[in-house]
Structure 1
Amino acid sequence: MEPLNYLESFLQSAEGGGFSEAARRLGLTPAAVSKNVARLEARLGVRLFQRSTRRLTLTEAGERLLQQARGPLAELQGAIADVSSDAEPAGILKVGMAHAVGRIYLVPLLAEFVRRYPRVIPDWRFDNRTVDLIGEGYDVAIGGGIELAPGVVAREVGRPRVLVCAAPDYMKGKTMPKHPADLATLEGIARRSAETGRLRGYVLRNRAGQEASTEFRAIATFDDPEAMAQAACLGLGVVLLPGPHAAPYLESGALVRLLPDWHAEVGALSIYYSSKKGLPAKTRVFVDFIIEQFKATGFADRLDRL
């Protein structure tokens, strides 16, 4: 198993930016991690890092190894974990999630998860993009409206809708819109996709099945819905927000919902993981824990009430 340990030390050093961070993640000393990487370099006959007193920098060979080994190592670790499926969940759990969804809904669950599974070390990555579970070595990702890649399955936790919102102060003295076409008289904050760079447009639907596009005078463009929500709270204009982002502000009264009979569909919010049989115990317990907690807190019902 030594070569696997060497490779894990390399991957964690590359992702963590140094031997000290890798040592913290792996439960080793920095010296042990450094020796493992040096042994791997000796076996391969190439230098994987350029070392300085301040930081590590991947060499070209190191970059190639990082890209090629990350996914297969995760698969191999999963297979080994499957053989010992009754073992206590343990290891680094790499999870991808959007910024606000992670901060608002997942971080509050972390203390209980760590209490239940003290040998699992959460490594959470906050990013408003669709991650490549297999290629980037993620154990789990949480997101909405994601097209499933081969080898990936999803468990739905809720069906958010995009809602039209504004601050009460912004709407003071203005006529409340009765139809999406009325938004054309208002200012607003547009959203740009962080993945494609394109402006996002939404088609609103009502309970009668009617559809209408949304147009307003954009005074700013953001690529982060949480920033859009905060800007709207300052009275800068209307915003179209996914339900999980809008919920705290609507419930506190910082924002009000406009056109309450209209919304846009964006697909299910789900927890994603590899479809391979025999998930590692750390992944299995995390997925079950999130499903359990979201049910207990009525997450899906909360979105339906908005």
Structure 2
Amino acid sequence: MSDLIRSLRLFVRLNEEGSFSALGRRQNLSHTTIARAIADLESYFGVRLFQRTTRRQALTADGERLLEHAVAILDQVGMAETDLAGAVAARGLVRLGVTTALGLHYAQRLADLRAQHPELTVEMFFADWRDAADDGGLDLWLAVGPEGTAGAELLGLLPRMLVASPGYLEARGAPGNVADLAAHECITYGYAARPEPWPVDGEELRVSGFLRASSSEAVLRATRGGLGIAMLPRIQVEEDLARGLLVEVLPGCTIPPIEVLVAHGFRGMRMPMRARVVMDFLVVGFPG
């Protein structure tokens, strides 16, 4: 990739991110690297691209004109890359941010992706809750909930269910209705000061228990160990249910599924083939 094309891409992304620091975190680049790319563009075209103050930066009139040209140029470059690649397999590294349950689900199916694209390399970054995009420089990442990353698209819905170990239910008894959950040990996960309520049968239940963890896998293992009742994605507990290690609690209750979104870091340009095949892998391999 030429230095000019690289600088144009950084210019477009800098305008989208709004600051050098935000772009640096997203792309894992130093402030110096980004500043040099913008300076090179300003020198090449002989114009000033940004009006900077202590509080904000904004495109100059020349910057706005270049932005329009840059987006068109990068789109054409992307089209050329796609056209010339033809049937050649995707190559290079794709950095993918996933939640624990879905990441493990996809990890079991990576052999199929490798068989189709042996020159592709995938790095998976696991993060529960809503922070899967916190690691800068991701190509693709999953977000949870309708308030996920701007520009993200719905990937699918993950059903959830309440589960507990047979040992816990034998010792404490199974809840007969939703109201009985208040008297039980409920294992939750999240990062907020207060755990999010459990949405069951149209109610927002404030539950509590001995453990709250930032990992759904930790919640699963604690539940399997008999610590209490947990609300987890069905794909994460299906195997334990089949083996009798867990039992569904209140099977007749209604729990809304988790909305899973997928976002990418190629706004303003055509997605490269390496990322496109992984995006297709996520779509095709989504549970159900």
* TM-score calculated relative to the size of structure 1: 0.63
Q: How does 1:118-267 map to 2 (within 5 A)?
A: 118-128=118-128, 129-132=130-133, 136-150=136-150, 152-157=151-156, 159-191=157-189, 193-194=190-191, 196-205=192-201, 211-267=202-258
Q: Secondary structure at the match of 1:265?
A: coil
Measured after TM superposition, the shift of residue 288 of structure 1 is 1.6
Q: Secondary structure at the match of 1:122?
A: strand
Distance between the aligned counterparts of 2:161 and 2:174, measured in 1? Answer: 15
The residue type paired with residue 164 of structure 2 is A
- Count of residue pairs brought into register by the alignment: 228
| Residues 154 and 236 of structure 1, relative CA distance in 2, 3 Å threshold | same
1:22 alignment partner in structure 2: none
| Residues 278 and 6 of structure 1, relative CA distance in 2, 3 Å threshold | closer
1:91 alignment partner in structure 2: 92
| Residues 243 and 79 of structure 1, relative CA distance in 2, 3 Å threshold | farther
Distance between the aligned counterparts of 1:148 and 1:231, measured in 2? Answer: 28
Measured after TM superposition, the shift of residue 131 of structure 1 is 4.1
Q: How does 1:1-16 map to 2 (within 5 A)?
A: 1=1, 3=3
1:271 alignment partner in structure 2: 262
* TM-score calculated relative to the size of structure 2: 0.66
8 A Cα contact 1:160 1:269, kept in partner: yes
Q: Secondary structure at the match of 1:84?
A: helix
1:283 alignment partner in structure 2: 275
Measured after TM superposition, the shift of residue 167 of structure 1 is 0.2
Distance between the aligned counterparts of 2:2 and 2:284, measured in 1? Answer: 37
Q: Bigger shift: 180-189 or 230-239?
A: 180-189
Q: Secondary structure at the match of 2:210?
A: strand
8 A Cα contact 2:197 2:207, kept in partner: no
Q: How does 1:20-59 map to 2 (within 5 A)?
A: none
Q: Secondary structure at the match of 2:255?
A: strand
Distance between the aligned counterparts of 1:68 and 1:114, measured in 2? Answer: 37
Identical aligned residues as a percent: 21
Measured after TM superposition, the shift of residue 69 of structure 1 is 9.6
Measured after TM superposition, the shift of residue 93 of structure 1 is 0.7
Q: Secondary structure at the match of 2:138?
A: coil
1:46 alignment partner in structure 2: none
The residue type paired with residue 183 of structure 1 is L
Matched, 1:64 2:35: no
Distance between the aligned counterparts of 1:170 and 1:278, measured in 2? Answer: 52
Where does structure 1 lack aligned partners over 5 or more consecutive residues?
A: 8-61, 206-210, 301-306
Where does structure 2 lack aligned partners over 5 or more consecutive residues?
A: 8-28, 38-70
Q: Secondary structure at the match of 1:85?
A: helix
